[in-house]
Amino acid sequence: MVNPKIIPQHRRLYEVLRKHILDGVYKEGDLLPSENELCQLYGMTRPTVRQSLGTLANDGYIKKHQGKGSIVNNLPSEIGILSVSGTTSAVGDRNLKTRIIVKPVLMPWPDEFMFPVTELEKESGCIYMERVRLLHNVPIFYDISYIANINLPRITARQFENRSLFQILRDHYHIEIKGGDQRIKAIHATIKISRLLKLKKDQPVLHLERKMETNNPALFLYSSIFCNTEKYSIFGRF
């Protein structure tokens, strides 16, 4: 048995610097301490420090300049769902509320599903739920989630109000999102969608279909997200 609490050093430094940036210790345009300074400060070698900075740069928090240093990026005020896993981490949980439309239920997979599912997934059945996410009390996202029922005991009994689905999966089932695929379309709001998001019928909405991979190679999460982009744009870096 191995201690699951040991976190790699480069990951530790990444988390520290990321938090400092989000907390405003380092502000937009600021120069981060140089790699050698970080080595001294945190007692690690340059390759390790560079791995942390590389990940930070990759996630869009900093931008590296040869001969100059690492500069903190302007962090988007818009909704950054394109490069992250859940709506909670995309907008922050300060002003996000959740309304359950359909509580988690176990059911067979839909016949025409948006992504191909494996035999194992099909046999296990599908945990289905519908939620509306409100930003500043305005409904913005209508999320339909599908999860294969693989090693998720009692999940249909849990409380999802104002909590992130991903947080529950991480805390209770040690499931981490590793990455995923997504498709985006612009569509007309159906009657149901326009009712849930308080839109006029036929108003254009953004439709995201996502397949998310987890640390369990057999377990995927699927989401169909309808998004009102009238007020808030969806934001991303590339």
Contact footprint for DNA (CB under 7 A): 2, 6, 8-11, 32, 34-37, 43-48, 50-51, 53, 64-70
Which structure tokens are listed for 119? 């035999």
Question: Measured from the CB atom, is 5 or 200 closer to DNA?
Answer: 5
Choose from a copy of itself, DNA, none: what does 70 bind? Cβ within 5-8 Å by kind.
DNA
Q: Which strand (E) or helix (H) includes residue 11?
A: helix 9-23
Which is nearer to a copy of itself, 162 or 215 (by Cβ)? Answer: 215
Give yes or no for residue 186 binding a copy of itself (CB under 8 A).
yes
State which of residues 69, 106, 180, 216 lies at the interface with a copy of itself (CB under 8 A): 180
H or E element, residue 9 = helix 9-23
Q: Please choose, out of 16-24, 31-39, 98-106, 178-186, the segment that lies near a copy of itself by the rule CB under 8 A.
A: 178-186
User: Should residue 183 be labelled a site residue for a copy of itself when binding is judged by CB under 8 A?
Assistant: yes
Footprint of a copy of itself on residues 75-94 (CB under 8 A)? 76, 78, 82-85
HSE on the CB side for 139, CA within 13 Å? 17
Question: Residue 84 binds which entry of a copy of itself, DNA, none, with Cβ cut-offs from 5 to 8 Å by kind?
Answer: a copy of itself
Q: Choose among 173, 121, 171: nearest CA to 147.
A: 121
CA distance 118 to 219: 10
Residue 142 buriedness (CB in 10 A; 0-12 / 13-18 / 19+) = buried
8 A C-beta contact, residue 9 and residue 48: yes
Task: Note the residues at the interface with a copy of itself (CB under 8 A).
Answer: 47, 58, 76, 78, 82-85, 179-188, 202, 204-207, 209, 227, 229-230, 233-238
